[in-house]
Amino acid sequence: AQKVTQAQTEISVVEKEDVTLDCVYETRDTTYYLFWYKQPPSGELVFLIRRNSFDEQNEISGRYSWNFQKSTSSFNFTITASQVVDSAVYFCALVNYGGATNKLIFGTGTLLAVQP
Amino acid sequence: GAGVSQTPSNKVTEKGKYVELRCDPISGHTALYWYRQSLGQGPEFLIYFQGTGAADDSGLPNDRFFAVRPEGSVSTLKIQRTERGDSAVYLCASSASSGSSRNEQFFGPGTRLTVL
């Protein structure tokens, strides 16, 4: 079975704090892709990052960084020096490689509220 | 506008009525997906089109749901005899090519369906 778990339902931080959003996944496939999407109050899902299962190198993009660890089936997302504009729901998602559909399997999301 | 567009943005209907939701993907994108997002949940896959054909409709909840993409571009999701449980945001996504799970899916703003 394929499953994505985001145990943190809601997180509230004060601006400029660092925050980490957790993502744990389950899949029987050895090759897969992991994604993070942001859903601001407007509702549109915005792609943030894609990582394939063969690449465990951590990635940094500005204030965003991602930590992928196959040993613990985790793909965590850290925002450094958070800003009010980071307030949104963040979804982690999984796609199995080579599947006929390439459908995204989403977690239930983490609502991040950044207070000024 | 080069993004995925969906109409209407909001649809309110009465139980038992028929509704159609439209998705206009990014020009040139051959893959098109429909997802349904219930309150407080992540999007759940409904159906996937590759070109004009429905390559995977395993996510459709029952036979009241149907989708078409007759010319390989615009898609319409059709719901017959709507029920209150159908109330959700219906999201459409498109991606550049078939057979590649690495491809980013670009999402539209969604249609919020409310069944009274």
| pLDDT per residue as tens digits for the range B88-100 | 999 999 998 655 5
Question: Measured between CB atoms, does A102 come within 8 Å of chain B?
Answer: yes
Q: Is A100 in Cβ contact with B42 (below 8 Å)?
A: no
Tell me the pLDDT band of B37, cut-offs 50, 70 and 90: very high
Nearest to B9 by CA among B67, B74, B91: B91
Check residue A97 and give its pLDDT.
74
When pLDDT is averaged across residues B10-30 and rounded to a whole number, the result is: 96
Check residue A63 and give its pLDDT.
93
Q: Is A107 in Cβ contact with B43 (below 8 Å)?
A: no
Of B48-57, B63-72, B105-114, the range with the lowest mean pLDDT is: B48-57
**Alpha-carbon gap, residue B96 to B100, rounded angstroms:** 9
Closest-CA residue of chain B to A32: B101
- DSSP, collapsed to helix, strand or coil, labels residue A86 as helix
State the distance between the two ends of chain B, measured CA to CA, in whole angstroms. 33
Tell me the pLDDT band of A21, cut-offs 50, 70 and 90: very high
